[in-house]
Amino acid sequence: MNALDHIKTCPLFGGLNNEEMKAIADVATVRDAYKGHIFFMDGDPAVGLYVLFEGKVRIYKSNPEGKEYTIHIINPNRFFAEAAIFEGDHYPANCIALEDSIVGYFPKDDFIDLISRHPRISLKIIASLSRFLREYNIMVEELALKEVSARLARYILVKAKGHTLKTIIIDISKTELAKKLGTISETLSRNLKKFKDSGIISVNNQEITIHDFDYLEKIAAGEKI
């Protein structure tokens, strides 16, 4: 598909008219990114932003010792790297494709000119930034105040939100989940085992079946197992 076809089928742009969609497509380049592709590194010049059409992307920070922390996992139909376009001249984190992906790339200057001519498009960016800020604030609070068990419990509950079934799919590796929760794989495994031994959940590969929502909510709130 070309850029316009992707944009027309992307729910992110569902509230825009045909003229606005065509204007977006005119400045977009559709790119394939294989698993492991690095989109940008912390400190690189912020030359553009992206929309993820297919696949999965990870935004993360790393320290000089090589320890990594996942800031955000980007799923399809979301902007990423948008903050760098409006705040500062450099990307504030690293970005890698977790699986084969398709993205729309928008050069910074062209995109800023686009939203000056089509202000409604900027509302989509504002909504995306607002969601990210809420999620980031929750993440910082949990890292500072909550133990790994509470972070894991909340992650499972969030994944289950809106589902009628008790079984959820963890669609990232255990290593990536550990990084997202600000811990290591061994600690994550120990907490999953505690949850299983307490009868709260059962685990089958990437499937987690929740048996006790109430107990899980108490753990997410800080109660010890």
Rounded CA separation 34/38 (Å): 9
Residue 160 confidence (pLDDT): 85
Question: What are 15-57's pLDDT values in tens digits?
Answer: 788 888 899 999 999 999 999 999 999 999 999 999 999 999 9
Question: What are 111-157's pLDDT values in tens digits?
Answer: 889 888 888 777 776 776 666 667 666 666 666 557 889 889 988 98
Question: What are 177-215's pLDDT values in tens digits?
Answer: 888 888 888 998 999 999 999 999 998 888 899 998 888
Rounded CA separation 61/117 (Å): 34
Residue 163 confidence (pLDDT): 56
Rounded CA separation 50/65 (Å): 29
CA angle centred on 225, ends 180 and 155, rounded to 5°: 25
119 touches 179 (CB < 8 A): no
pLDDT > 60? residue 164: no
Rounded CA separation 164/64 (Å): 44
Residue 165 confidence (pLDDT): 60
Rounded CA separation 110/134 (Å): 28
The crossing angle, in degrees rounded to 10, of helices 108-117 and 119-145 is 120
Rounded CA separation 207/159 (Å): 11
Rounded CA separation 204/117 (Å): 51
User: Could you give all domains of the chain from N- to C-terminal order, each with its CATH number?
Assistant: 3-137 (2.60.120.10), 146-220 (1.10.10.10)
